Amino acid sequence: MARNPYLPYSARIDEVVVENEARDIKTFRLVFEDPSSAAEFRYLPGQFAELSLPGVGEAPFGIASSPTEADYLLFTIKRMGLFTAELHSLEAGTDIGVRGPMGKPFPWDQMAGKNLLIVGGGFAFTTLRAAIKYILDPANRTQFGSVLVIYGARVPGELMYKEALAEWQARDDIDVHLTVDKADKSWTQHEGVVTTVLQGLKPSPENTLALVCGPPIMIRFALLSLGSLGFADDAIVLSLEMRMKCGIGKCGRCNIGSKYVCKDGPVFTYQELRALPAEY
């Protein structure tokens, strides 16, 4: 019989890493209690899962790890509401439920053989981290062309995954540009919003797919920039956030037009999004 879709897998918080200076973004490393759960939980970057705490409830989060990191799941979460506040108070060793994976991943089939432009802002970089990890895996890297990453935050202290960023910047099979809205004394990289860097680098739209995740204001300007650079609407891939409950297309909460963000998304091309009401 099929598994009860409301029943979370049992997992444990294995490690908690504070990602930013404001200390309101943390990465939680989760390990399944039963190794067979890990085998069942097959996902691709771009998908999400519902984390579950008894008595608190559930909330959906993009998976920040790549399936190539076999032993654990990563979730990078900003303290925001009821659930995330509770989650942030938890330490390594605490039990937690995971329900998923849910939704559609980034369009990996379509991405094969293409150059990739990855544009991220703020703490929405989580599933993009998963995507980059996945792309850079030795077993996968050859499937893709060039990879250009532009990642921005308000200030240097708000950039997440600092170790990984440094490691990627040291490699020659990926070009990572970091930018901050407001630099401090130690900052030596770009200063300015993501779109400024994008306009400066002028990536070619030729055989290229763009993955874009960030705050609404960044998305708005990034879409304008990409458009002016010649990117077609169906070559731009975005990920939506909506309030969700069931995660399996029944509770109606994430319904936008005839789509359900939880099962038809959260990943949509800009072309698909344009056909939907702007209720997100």
Partner 1 sequence: MTANHEIEARLRETAGELLRQKRVDLFLGYEKASLPFRTTPLFLTSPDEVERLVWNPFCTVNLAVYLPRLFAAPADPRKAKDLSPPTVGLVLKGCDTRSVVALIQERQVPREKLVLVGVACPGMVDRQKAERALGEHEALGAEEDAQGNVRAMIDDEMEVALPREEIVSDACLECRFPTPLIHDVLLGGPVEPKDRDVARRLTAEFESRALSARWVHLQETLSKCIRCNACRQSCPMCYCKECLLDQTRPRWVGASTDISDVTIYHLVRAFHMAGRCTECGACARACPMGIDTRLLVRKLSQDVEDLYQYRPGEAIDTTPPLSAFAMEDPQDFLTEP
Partner 2 sequence: MTEKQITRTDLDKLLGFFRERGAVYAPAKDEAGDVALTEVGRAASVVLAYTNFRLSPKAFFFPQNQTLLRFNDGRAEEVGVIDRATVLFGVRPCDARALLALDQVFLDGHQDDPYYAGLRARTTVVALACMRPASSCFCTSVGGGPGDGTGSDVLAVALETDLLLRAQTPKGEELLSFAADLLADAMPAAVKEAQERIRAAENKIAPVEVANSAERLRKAYDSYVWETASQKCLGCGTCSFLCPTCHCFDITDEVRGGTGRRVRTWDCCAYALFTLQASGHNPRPTPKERWRQRIMHKFRYAVENFDRPFCMGCGRCIRNCPVSMDLRTMLKEVGP
Query: Which residues of the shown chain bind partner 1 in the complex (CB under 8 A)?
Result: 81-82, 85
Residues found near partner 2 in the complex (CB under 8 A): 2, 4-8, 10, 52, 54-59, 80-84, 95, 97, 241-243, 245-246, 248-253, 255-258, 263, 277, 279-280
* CB-based contacts of 220, cutoff 8 Å, min separation 6: none
252 binds, among partner 2, partner 1, none (CB under 5 to 8 A by kind): partner 2
Q: Which is nearer to partner 1, 202 or 250 (CB)?
A: 250
CA distance 254 to 266: 10
Would you say 3 or 185 has its CB closer to partner 2? 3
- Cβ closest to partner 2, residue 148 vs residue 219: 219
Work out how close the CB of 226 gets to partner 2 at its nearest, in angstroms, rounded to a whole number: 23
Q: How far apart are CA 69 and CA 130, in angstroms?
A: 9
Task: Name which of 138 and 252 has its Cβ closer to partner 2.
Answer: 252
CB of 84 to partner 1, least distance (A): 11
Look up residue 233 and give its DSSP letter. Answer: G
Q: How far is the CB of 250 from partner 1 (least distance, A)?
A: 17
Q: What is the radius of gyration, based on Cα positions, of the chain?
A: 18
Element at 260 (helix H, strand E): strand 259-260
Q: How far apart are CA 197 and CA 252, in angstroms?
A: 39
In the complex, what is the shortest distance from the CB of residue 55 to partner 2, in angstroms, rounded to a whole number? 3
Q: Measured between alpha carbons, how far is residue 148 from residues 109, 138, 238 in Å?
A: 19, 17, 16
